[in-house]
Amino acid sequence: MVRKGFVLLLGTVLACALYSLLGNLNPRLVVLINAFAVLVFFSALVYGEIEGAVMGTVAGLLQDAFSHQVFGLGGLSLTLAGFLLAWAAQKLNLNNFIKKGILIFFFSLVQLIIWVIFYSLIFRKSWLYSRFEFYLQPIFTAIITTSLITLFPKLKKNL
């Protein structure tokens, strides 16, 4: 339990650090790679539904704090996506990299759709309003999260 809490806290700090590093390297990378979504999907697949939902709220609200839009939008979409990903993962047989990648891609897309729907409802703006990099997020989230999950057992042994 303590170890899990430590890993999740460390993950939050690392997501924050990654977000900041990407912004310094190139502002486009901040939108292209969603460090907070990676953290949520990683937690959901490694630990389960409750952890996925809790990290969805924590990381989502953190993401919202760095953005000048409705506070809670990222929290809501990541909570739903994190919980649903973990729930679906337990029903399916995810024994290889590709299957995990596809599932994460799908739920990352779901998260993005929830975000865009709420955003366009609140601000009454076009669905295609945001930067194009924003819509490439699911691909990068899927690749990075799947790679991390594959590497995690090896890292865990060394922890």
Partner 1 sequence: MSLFRLVRNKFWVAGFLIFLNLILISLQMPSGSKQENLLERILFTLASPVQKLVAATYHFLNDEWEQFKELRTAQKENQELKKKIFFLQQEEQLLKNKLSLALKQKELEETLKLLPGLIIPARIIGFDTSNYYRSAIIDKGREDGVNQNLPVCDKFGHLLGRTAEPITGSQARVILITSEDSGVAVITTSDKMVGILSGNGQGECLIKYVMASSPLGVEGDEVQTSGFDKIFPPGLKVGRIVSISAEKGVFKKIVVKPYFDLRELDVVAVLKTAELMR
The binding site for partner 1 (CB under 8 A) comprises 13, 16-17, 19-21, 23-28, 30-31, 34, 36, 48-50, 53-54, 56-57, 60-76, 79-80, 83, 87, 118, 122-123, 125, 129-131, 134
Would you say 70 or 109 has its CB closer to partner 1? 70
Would you say 28 or 156 has its CB closer to partner 1? 28
Would you say 126 or 158 has its CB closer to partner 1? 126
Q: Which residues, other chains included, contact 56 with Cβ-Cβ below 8 Å and sequence gap of 6+?
A: 40, 44, 75, 78, 79, 80, 81, 82, 83
Answer for the pair 52, 103: CB distance below 8 angstroms, yes or no: no
DSSP states of 58-81: HHHHHHHHTSSS-TTHHHHHHHHH
- Least distance from partner 1 to the Cβ atom of residue 89, Å: 13
